[in-house]
Structures are given as structure tokens and as C-alpha cells.
């Protein structure tokens, strides 16, 4: 349905665009009628079609050609019902070519998104005994899985070899190193229900890794009925550590981010230029301040802010947080920090795909290395893109974190946001940011 609506808007917009350029000889009402009729014809054709074309050319160019045909039929019908409606050939050529290009673009983007979602996920399997072997046999028999086993850690065997295209490990250290070096997506634990020690051991080892961990318990002896339905291909699995948002939710969030950031930059562009000029005139140095932060899945990116401090050279590997009355902060910078206007350039980070409008606030990379070892659940903040504002910030948890308790409280709010995300929740946080989140006594 979203794709149909997008194509309909493309057709309607193209018709009005063509009228603006080449339609001075007839009234706009005829254009609206022809465009609406074309949309109805196209939707009727899509609803009666038995199956979608799977080929790239047919799946992209076919619908675009179908829209062109529907527009031709709609124009002919409008001309038949209204003799005074005599559109020019160049108007129709502009309408149909614009629609063709727009529909082709929509279909191409959708196919790219679907192909990205269907990316094979790499898996490292840990197990022992008949349960693990039986699972491997069922898994390898499947040819349509979106998962790919790259490594297996066998708790019983003592040999290391390449088996069926994956690495076999019997020692913990090289296995853990391989999982991290190869950036494995998921860890599956095919263990008996009684082997709690091994389960807890792997949870502890990978507690600071952005790795999905699933438990494939051996329930064959306890299940009353056989159930072939599975989340991870031929096995019942329990998510122990998993991404909090689905691919669909992430796509919705990304669309909202792009739309909101675009509107914000356009509407705030005069203020943006005024602040940039003020920063440049207030003290020597660049307008923008850039600093490396961790983004989604721990990938580093450069965050943008208006510069609020005098230019200084920090020590290697040392990032000193701003404190109340910090001498490094310029008078203009103090105002920008209190009102959070220094964060406006981060809408550029949103359009670049580094950040989200709402999400956990990113910290300096040097601080991440410290806090992820001492704050429970800290690393899971980076399972989604960091945000310009967040649930912690609108609840007053912002500014300097001069104690572990403050950071723990902030992380708890971030994890609550991840567990309860919805588009309505994002809108609520944005509204709270506008109402009370810009100015706060902890912002300095």
C-alpha cells in the first residue's frame, strides 16, 4: 500500500507539473480529473494482477509502462467526456515521462531496500552432542535460508578443520577472536536446557559486543507435539540478546528522520546562518566543531556542532567534559549550550544517515570505552542510530555525567526507549523537547 500511494502522488504531481509548464490552453480541473482516473485505472490493474513480476526489468519498468498506458486511457476518456478538453501532445509527453521516471525511481528504491533486508546474516554456532548435530543437518539441508553459518564452536570435539564451508573451533580464545574480527551478526547457542553455565559464560564474554544471541534449547524430550515453525530455520529459538527494532520499524524511523530533518533545516536556515555568522565573529576558529562518536552498530562517525569553546588542543585520548563555569566556553557558546542551539548542525548528520532525530545521545568514543565496562547495558544504546534528542534528555538527564549513577540512570532511560519504541513515542519526545527540552539547568 505505501508503494501504491507513492506512485499515485508521483502521477498526480507529474500531471500538475506538466500543466504548470505546458497546460495554459485548458483548465486545471480537467487535469485533476484525468490524473484521478489514471490512478483508479492503475490501482484496479494492480488489484487484479495475479502475481508481481520478479525480474528486475519487468518488476521496475513494467509498472512504469503500465502507468503510462493508464494515463493515456484516462486522457482519452476525459477528452471523450469533455470536448473542450484538448490537451497538447507535449503536455501529455511531459506528464507521462515524469510519471515514468518517478515510478521507476520508486520501484528501484523499494527493490534496493528489499535486497538489503534480505542480506545473508552470518552466524557462529555453539553446541554439543546430538542436539547440535541434528540442528546442523536440518540447517544445511535448507537452501533458502537468510542465515549463513560461518563458524562452529564444538564443546566436545578436539579437532580444528574447515567443515562444510565453515570454521570449526575447539578453543575459546580463537573462536571469540574470529567472531569479533569477522563481525559475525549472530551467535546461536544450541545447548541442553541444563547447561546454564555455558550459556551464562557466553553472555558474559560478549556482553559488550553488538551481537544478537539466540538460545536454541533442546526441547525434543519435553515437547508433547512436534512443531516445525521456527524463527531461525528449523529450530525453536529464544532471543537472549537481539536488536530491539525490526527492519520495518527502522525503515519507518528513517523515513520520518529524513522528512523531519529536511523540514527543520529549511525552516531554521535563517537561524542557522545567523548563528554561524555569530560564532565566526565571536572568537577565532572554525564555525563547526567536529568530534568522532559511535553510531549504529558501533560504527564511528563525525558529529557536527556549532563551536562553543575557544580553540584548544586536548590531550591524546583525553576528552574533558564541559563543567559549570568552564573557562573554555565562549560567552556566545554558553548561550548556545544552554538553549541547545549548538546541536542544530546535527540535522545534517541525520540527512547523512549517521544519526536519528530521536534516540540515545552519543558520547565521546573515549568515554564509551570507559562506561561500557562499568555501566550495565551501556553498549546496547548503539543498536540503533544515536539521536539529537532522546527520552533521557527530556527527563532532565543531560549535560555532565560526573558520577556512575548519573550515567546508569541515563542508560536505563535509553534502554526503556529502545524497548518501547514507536513513531508516536518519537513524536511525544520531540514535542517534549520543544516545550521543555531546549533550556535546562544541566546544559552548560
The residue with greater pLDDT, 390 or 247, is 390
Residues 6+ apart with CB under 8 A from 283: 310, 311, 330, 332
Report angle CA 416, 420, 421 to the nearest 5 degrees. Answer: 110
Q: Give the distance, in angstroms, between the CA of residue 158 and the centroid of all CA atoms in the same chain.
A: 41
Specify the domain boundaries for CATH 3.40.50.720 within the chain.
121-241
Whose grid coordinates read 480537467?
Answer: 30
pLDDT (0 to 100) of residue 64: 80
The residue with greater pLDDT, 296 or 224, is 296
Q: What is d(CA 267, CA 56) in angstroms, rounded to the nearest whole number?
A: 39
Q: What percent of the chain has pLDDT over 90?
A: 20
Report which of 220, 228, 236, 239 is spatially closest to residue 131, judged by C-alpha positions.
220
Helix%, strand%, coil% for the chain, nearest 5: 55, 15, 35
Give Dmax over CA atoms of the chain in angstroms.
87
Q: What is d(CA 344, CA 261) in angstroms, rounded to the nearest whole number?
A: 10
Q: Are strands 356-358 and 300-306 parallel, antiparallel or unpaired?
A: unpaired
- Asked whether 333 and 354 are in contact (CB, 8 A), the reply is no
Q: What is the pLDDT of residues 273-286, one digit of tens each?
A: 999 999 988 888 89
Provide the pLDDT confidence category of residue 358 given band limits of 50, 70 and 90.
very high
pLDDT (0 to 100) of residue 269: 87
Measured CA distances, 274 to 269, 307, 437 (Å): 9, 14, 22
Report which of 268, 253, 259 is spatially closest to residue 306, judged by C-alpha positions.
268
Provide the pLDDT confidence category of residue 328 given band limits of 50, 70 and 90.
confident
- Asked whether 387 and 425 are in contact (CB, 8 A), the reply is no
Whose grid coordinates read 527520552?
Answer: 391
Report which of 402, 403, 401, 404 is spatially closest to residue 374, judged by C-alpha positions.
404
Residues 6+ apart with CB under 8 A from 334: 308, 444
Q: Give the distance, in angstroms, between the CA of residue 74 and the centroid of all CA atoms in the same chain.
A: 39
Q: Give mean pLDDT, residues 249-266.
A: 88
Specify the 3-state DSSP secondary structure of 291: strand
Buried b (16+ CB within 10 A) or exposed e, 390-414: bbbbbeebbbebeeeeebbbbbbbb
Domain 121-241: CATH architecture, name and number where available = 3-Layer(aba) Sandwich (3.40)
User: Considering the chain, what is the average pLDDT of its residues?
Assistant: 80
The residue with greater pLDDT, 397 or 59, is 397
Q: What is the pTM of this model?
A: 0.61
Buried b (16+ CB within 10 A) or exposed e, 314-349: eeeeeeeebeeebeebbebbbebbbebbbbbbbbbb
Specify the 3-state DSSP secondary structure of 122: strand
Rg over alpha carbons for the chain, rounded to the nearest Å, is 28
Lowest average pLDDT, out of 20-24, 62-66, 278-282, 440-444, goes to: 440-444
Q: What is d(CA 80, CA 86) in angstroms, rounded to the nearest whole number?
A: 10
pLDDT (0 to 100) of residue 427: 92
Q: Give the distance, in angstroms, between the CA of residue 289 and the centroid of all CA atoms in the same chain.
A: 25
Q: Positive or negative CA dihedral for 165, 117, 178, 244?
A: negative
Q: Give the distance, in angstroms, between the CA of residue 362 and the centroid of all CA atoms in the same chain.
A: 15
pLDDT (0 to 100) of residue 302: 92
For residue 83, give the C-alpha cell. Answer: 470536448
Report which of 150, 139, 166 is spatially closest to residue 231, judged by C-alpha positions.
139
Most confident stretch, 71-80, 132-141, 160-169, 257-266: 257-266
For residue 94, give the C-alpha cell. Answer: 511531459
DSSP states of 176-190: HHHHHHTT-SEEEEE
Q: What is d(CA 192, CA 203) in angstroms, rounded to the nearest whole number?
A: 16
* Helix-helix angle 423-432:247-267, to 10 degrees: 30
Provide the pLDDT confidence category of residue 230 given band limits of 50, 70 and 90.
very low
Q: What is the pLDDT of residues 83-120, one digit of tens each?
A: 777 777 888 888 888 888 888 888 877 777 666 555 67
Amino acid at each position: 500500500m505505501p508503494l501504491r500511494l507513492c506512485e499515485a502522488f508521483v502521477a498526480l504531481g507529474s500531471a500538475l507539473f506538466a500543466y504548470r509548464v505546458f497546460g495554459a490552453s485548458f483548465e486545471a480541473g480537467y487535469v485533476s480529473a484525468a490524473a484521478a482516473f489514471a490512478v483508479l485505472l492503475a490501482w484496479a490493474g494492480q488489484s487484479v494482477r495475479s502475481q508481481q513480476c520478479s525480474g528486475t526489468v519487468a518488476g521496475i519498468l513494467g509498472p512504469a509502462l503500465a502507468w503510462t498506458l493508464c494515463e493515456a486511457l484516462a486522457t482519452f476518456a476525459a477528452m471523450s467526456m469533455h470536448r473542450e478538453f484538448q490537451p497538447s501532445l507535449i503536455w501529455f509527453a511531459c506528464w507521462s515521462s515524469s510519471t515514468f521516471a518517478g515510478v521507476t525511481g520508486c520501484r528501484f528504491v523499494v527493490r534496493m531496500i528489499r535486497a538489503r533486508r534480505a542480506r545473508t546474516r552470518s552466524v557462529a554456532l555453539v553446541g554439543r552432542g546430538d542436539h547440535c548435530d541434528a540442528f546442523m543437518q536440518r540447517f544445511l539441508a535448507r537452501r533458502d535460508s537468510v542465515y549463513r553459518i560461518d563458524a562452529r564452536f564444538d564443546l566436545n570435539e578436539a579437532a580444528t578443520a574447515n567443515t562444510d564451508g565453515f570454521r570449526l573451533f575447539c578453543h575459546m580464545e580463537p573462536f571469540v577472536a574470529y567472531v569479533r574480527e569477522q563481525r559475525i551478526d549472530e551467535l546461536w547457542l544450541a545447548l541442553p536446557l541444563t547447561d546454564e553455565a555455558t550459556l551464562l559464560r557466553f553472555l558474559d564474554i560478549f556482553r559488550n559486543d553488538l551481537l544478537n544471541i539466540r538460545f536454541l534449547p533442546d526441547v525434543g524430550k519435553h515437547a508433547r507435539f512436534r512443531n516445525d515453525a521456527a524463527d531461525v530455520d528449523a529450530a525453536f529459538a529464544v532471543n537472549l540478546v537481539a536488536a530491539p527494532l525490526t527492519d520495518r520499524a527502522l525503515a519507518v524511523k528513517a523515513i520520518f528522520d529524513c522528512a523531519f530533518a529536511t523540514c527543520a533545516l529549511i525552516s531554521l536556515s535563517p537561524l542557522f546562518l545567523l548563528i554561524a555568522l555569530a560564532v565566526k565573529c565571536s572568537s577565532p576558529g572554525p564555525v563547526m566543531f567536529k568530534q568522532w562518536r559511535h553510531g549504529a552498530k558501533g560504527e564511528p562517525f563525525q558529529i557536527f556542532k556549532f563551536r562553543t569553546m575557544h580553540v584548544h588542543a586536548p590531550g591524546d585520548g583525553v576528552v574533558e567534559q564541559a563543567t559549570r563555569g568552564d573557562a573554555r566556553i565562549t560567552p556566545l557558546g554558553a548561550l548556545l549550550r544552554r538553549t541547545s542551539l549548538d546541536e542544530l548542525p546535527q540535522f545534517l548528520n541525520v540527512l547523512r544517515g549517521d544519526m536519528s532525530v530521536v534516540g540515545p545521545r552519543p558520547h565521546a568514543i573515549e568515554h564509551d570505552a570507559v562506561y561500557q565496562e562499568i555501566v550495565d547495558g551501556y553498549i546496547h544504546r548503539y543498536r540503533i542510530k544515536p539521536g539529537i534528542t532522546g527520552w533521557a534528555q527530556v527527563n532532565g538527564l543531560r549535560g555532565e555525567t560526573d558520577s556512575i549513577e548519573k550515567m546508569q540512570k541515563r542508560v536505563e532511560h535509553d534502554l526503556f526507549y529502545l524497548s518501547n519504541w514507536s513513531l508516536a513515542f518519537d513524536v511525544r519526545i520531540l514535542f517534549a523537547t520543544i516545550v521543555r527540552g531546549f533550556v535546562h539547568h544541566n546544559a552548560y
